[in-house]
Amino acid sequence: MELLYALTLGVLTMSGVYLLLRARTFPVVVGLTLISYAVNLFLFAMGRLHTGKPAVLGQVAEHADPLPQALVLTAIVIGFAMTAFALVLALRAQGELENDHVDGRGKR
């Protein structure tokens, strides 16, 4: 499971960075989304990977660390809002600059 998990993170991050470097607003936003997925999964894994362990005290003998899950929830909410904002901004930039390059110039 660890290997699969690590590979997933790696592929997500790699794709995200590649898309970021495309320097076109839409791919950049998608790239940032992929990176934030990878980061959220990474945060989650920092509580160690378990199966069948609830993050609730008192119900079972062994429980998973609830803190990373809380951190991930916060990060997801913030990341979601940020993606929405970046999208709106990208649309406005496209409208005002008539170009989808992040510098607002270059070939269309």
Cα(56)–Cα(47) distance, integer angstroms:
14
Chain positions 28 to 47 lying near another protein, rule: CB under 8 A, are 28, 32, 35-36, 39-40, 42-43, 45-47
85 belongs to the binding site for another protein (CB under 8 A): yes
Structure tokens at 41: 């999964």
Nearer to another protein, 6 or 67 (CB): 67
Virtual CA dihedral for 18, 24, 27, 30, nearest 10 degrees?
100
Cα(108)–Cα(101) distance, integer angstroms:
8
Give the residues lining the site for another protein (CB under 8 A).
20, 25, 28, 32, 35-36, 39-40, 42-43, 45-48, 67-68, 71, 74-75, 78-79, 81-82, 85-86, 89-90, 92-93, 96-97, 102-104
